[in-house]
Structure 1
Amino acid sequence: MSQQTTPRLPSLLDNDFYKFTMQHGVVKLFPRAKARYQFINRGKHRFPAGFGDALRKAVDAMGALSLSLEEKRWLATTCPYLDPTYLDFLQGFCYDPGEVTIAQKGEELSVEVEGYWYRTILWEVPLMALISELYYTQNGLERVNNEEVTRISREKIEKYRALDVKIAEFGTRRRHSYEVHQVVVEALKKYGSGTFVGTSNVHLARINGVKPIGTHAHEWFMFHAARYGFKMANVLGLQHWVDVYRGDLGIALSDTYTTNVFLQQFDKMFSKLFDGVRHDSSDPVAFAEQTIGHYRRLGIDPLSKTIIFSDALNYDKVARIAEYCRDKIGFSFGIGTNFTNDVGLQAMNMVIKMTETQPEGDQWIPVVKLSDERGKYTGQPEMIELAKKLLQID
């Protein structure tokens, strides 16, 4: 493989914002916890000979990344809710490639991560971005040129602007490449005035002068289930988030153990404290209806709250959601792969998920996710069944 086709991340901040906000929480609350992650090839993609070696080379290069003083100052100004002690920690942080194990057998790829949670939490997103970019270069798959990427992005954001909706870009994990990602964000900013509100990618937010967007992911609640039990996962996950951020970053992820269970525990205190919720699985209009009903039953005006929709969105889905939600509840959208990998090739279907955690002591505990779509369940079958039984999920 040539040097030109080995992807290199441009910055330690080339990652999704919620990874840093969660890392901040982990450093404060769970500094001794450990975690394991695993690559899941949902799309049954076949990897050519030498792919694992090329990925190893790209991962090893990440050990040289560090936070610059300019980046640190930008974070301090843009994200004042991040403690100065955390920013000092991040300035001294370096990826340890030894935490990542990569193996290839024939056309099958195995990637596993293990280490302290406060460190390993940053691996998921850049690993997926590297796997995606390498997949196209190693297979010799040609994309449309940058001018066409700009045209496609402009056309999309102008259509969304005509809908009078707010759009953020959430596409780091399955982007075609860093180059495409950069072109997309530049186009969204240039042509999306009043509609484009920011990006989940912290590095691209900084260099393009837009807002970094994100709060937390499923693994936050998955860890809490392992540490405190399934019945307490949502409650303590939310409480600990409030303890760290004191009212900032107030969008709660609702579907780690189904929305029904979440809303049972999202009581009046949490419903008032949090600005809104994020939708990541199931029918979005049915979710909006359920959420609006929840707020109304608690005597809370739904128009004072927001739903962030982020599940495999495209124009038709956004239009349908906006038509239902308008004048009923606040809403905005986070669009990922449809922005960053619409280049004439099939996007990869893959995830990297936390599989086990060691909250304290020496015992590793398997973690699971039970989203509103059964096809998105992750974890060991016996642990999934235990969670369903304890949470009374059919």
Structure 2
Amino acid sequence: MTPSHTILNSLLDNDFYKFTMQHAVFKLFPKAQAKYEFINRGKHRFPAGFAEELRTSINKMATLHLTREEKQYLKDTCPYLDPTYLDFLQGYRYDPDEVSVSQNADNLSVKITGYWYRTILWEVPLMSLISELYYKLNHLSGDSDEQIIRTAKNKIEKYNALGVTIAEFGTRRRHAYHTHRLVVQALKQYGSKSFIGTSNVHMAMLNQTKPIGTHAHEWFMFHAAKYGFKTANGLSLEHWVNVYRGDLGIALSDTYTTDVFFSQFDKMFTKLFDGVRHDSGDPILFADKTIAHYKSKGINPLSKTIIFSDGLDYEKVVRIARHCQGKIGISFGIGTNFTNDVGLDPMNIVIKMTEAYPEGAYWTPVVKLSDVKGKYTGDPKMIELSKTILGINDSTQ
């Protein structure tokens, strides 16, 4: 097998919400621990020697560090990140011992364990490494550079014509770092009317555009482990507001179903947050629920924004935009359809937090109850417990 030499080029080659969450964890939960696990949803078969190649790439990540220029970029672009956090990040190094990798035949196992403020950065770069190595070691090269640029150009020009704003969210399942870089450059060059930024901080810096993101499901999942399911949404939002004081105001709504979220998204939170992010379930139904919720609180939905980010392509964006026009503000985060549209099947993989260890507590399984009927992830007993506590009945979801 030819050595892949797949490496990351920057500590900032990661999704922005990993750093914003890390900053909050660093401030609020410095002694908490977490476990994560790789889930091969697409049942992909990994070639012999894959785990060894991945291990080599992981070990090389220990040399990454925040450069002086990168630190200055974060200081200038993200004034809500504390100087103490930026100093910490400058001294941060990936610890490969936090990651275990093994392979049994064509099945891959990857697990992460350690302090949450450290392990929180592993998920996205590990997924991008797994994806890139998969194509390399299977000798699946995909489209030429010229075709990749042309594809991205054609897509963003269609979004320009549609009159919507688009961000690139595709780090996790990108075909390769090189592909990702070409795509973001093309979006920036040809998307003057639509392209507003990328979730990847490294790519944002390279292209002098905006890093975009707030928080992910794990933020809410940890809060359930520490405080219980009934108060997880409210305390997650309250702690976010306490850290960011009005910045980064898009709330993720579907960790424990949108219906439960909106029942706890009271008038204070509804006013404080700029909008919500849709990440599972029917986007049209979600839009209608969100509009109805704002109206019920006496708030004009046009003063708020929904960020749609669930498996989007042009046809889905058109359908959502037409439905929401004149009703509520909208924007779109498009991932794999941008960074892994090279003529090959994209991977269907995730890395999820599986357990949390709040300070003074014990290892507790964490779960996610998405808006897709029955599509819940985590320990089955904990899923049933959360459904009972939150009053979730699958037949009515």
- Counterparts of 2:162 and 2:325 in 1: how far apart (Å)? 11
Matches within 5 A, 1:183-202: 183-202=182-201
Indicate if the aligned counterparts of 1:56 and 1:102 stay in contact, CA closer than 8 A.
yes
Matches within 5 A, 1:316-335: 316-335=315-334
Give the C-alpha shift of residue 362 in structure 1: 5.5
Indicate if the aligned counterparts of 1:74 and 1:206 stay in contact, CA closer than 8 A.
yes
SS at match of 2:346: coil
Q: Which residue of 1 aligns with 2:109?
A: 110
- Counterparts of 2:140 and 2:154 in 1: how far apart (Å)? 24
Give the C-alpha shift of residue 142 in structure 1: 2.3
Q: Which residue of 2 aligns with 1:350?
A: 349
Matches within 5 A, 1:300-339: 300-339=299-338
Give the C-alpha shift of residue 305 in structure 1: 0.1
- Counterparts of 2:352 and 2:39 in 1: how far apart (Å)? 8
Say how many residue pairs are matched: 393
| 1:224 paired to 2:223 | yes
Offset from partner CA, 1:199-236 (integer Å, 9 cap, x none): 00000000111100000000000000000000000000
Matches within 5 A, 1:30-109: 30-109=29-108
- Counterparts of 1:221 and 1:374 in 2: how far apart (Å)? 20
Q: Which residue of 2 aligns with 1:174?
A: 173
Offset from partner CA, 1:276-319 (integer Å, 9 cap, x none): 00000011011000000000010000000000000000001000
SS at match of 1:122: coil
SS at match of 2:377: coil
SS at match of 1:361: coil
Give the C-alpha shift of residue 376 in structure 1: 3.8
Give the C-alpha shift of residue 375 in structure 1: 5.4
Give the C-alpha shift of residue 125 in structure 1: 0.1
Offset from partner CA, 1:251-277 (integer Å, 9 cap, x none): 000000000000000000000000000
Offset from partner CA, 1:29-84 (integer Å, 9 cap, x none): 00000000000000000000000000000000000000001100110000000000
Offset from partner CA, 1:337-383 (integer Å, 9 cap, x none): 00000000000001000000100135100000001014541101000
Q: Which residue of 2 aligns with 1:160?
A: 159
Q: Which residue of 2 aligns with 1:135?
A: 134
SS at match of 2:113: strand
- Counterparts of 1:363 and 1:226 in 2: how far apart (Å)? 9
Q: Which residue of 2 aligns with 1:149?
A: 148
- Counterparts of 1:6 and 1:49 in 2: how far apart (Å)? 16
- Counterparts of 1:354 and 1:338 in 2: how far apart (Å)? 25
SS at match of 1:13: coil
- Counterparts of 1:15 and 1:134 in 2: how far apart (Å)? 17
- Counterparts of 1:374 and 1:134 in 2: how far apart (Å)? 33
Q: Which residue of 2 aligns with 1:389?
A: 388
Change (3 A) 1:112 1:374: farther
Indicate if the aligned counterparts of 1:223 and 1:367 stay in contact, CA closer than 8 A.
yes
TM-score with structure 1 length normalisation?
0.99
Q: Which residue of 2 aligns with 1:280?
A: 279
SS at match of 2:240: helix
Indicate if the aligned counterparts of 1:6 and 1:134 stay in contact, CA closer than 8 A.
no
- Counterparts of 1:381 and 1:2 in 2: how far apart (Å)? 41
Q: Which residue of 1 aligns with 2:360?
A: 361
Structure 1: 5+ residue stretches without partners? none
Identity fraction in percent: 69
- Counterparts of 2:156 and 2:141 in 1: how far apart (Å)? 24
- Counterparts of 1:177 and 1:100 in 2: how far apart (Å)? 21
Change (3 A) 1:263 1:252: same
Give the C-alpha shift of residue 141 in structure 1: 1.1
Amino acid at match of 1:47: F
SS at match of 2:112: strand
- Counterparts of 1:375 and 1:258 in 2: how far apart (Å)? 11
Amino acid at match of 2:56: K
SS at match of 2:215: coil
TM-score with structure 2 length normalisation?
0.98
Give the C-alpha shift of residue 194 in structure 1: 1.8
Change (3 A) 1:44 1:362: same
Structure 2: 5+ residue stretches without partners? none
Return 356-365 or 27-36, whichever deviates more: 356-365
- Counterparts of 1:378 and 1:348 in 2: how far apart (Å)? 19
Amino acid at match of 2:205: R
Change (3 A) 1:376 1:350: farther
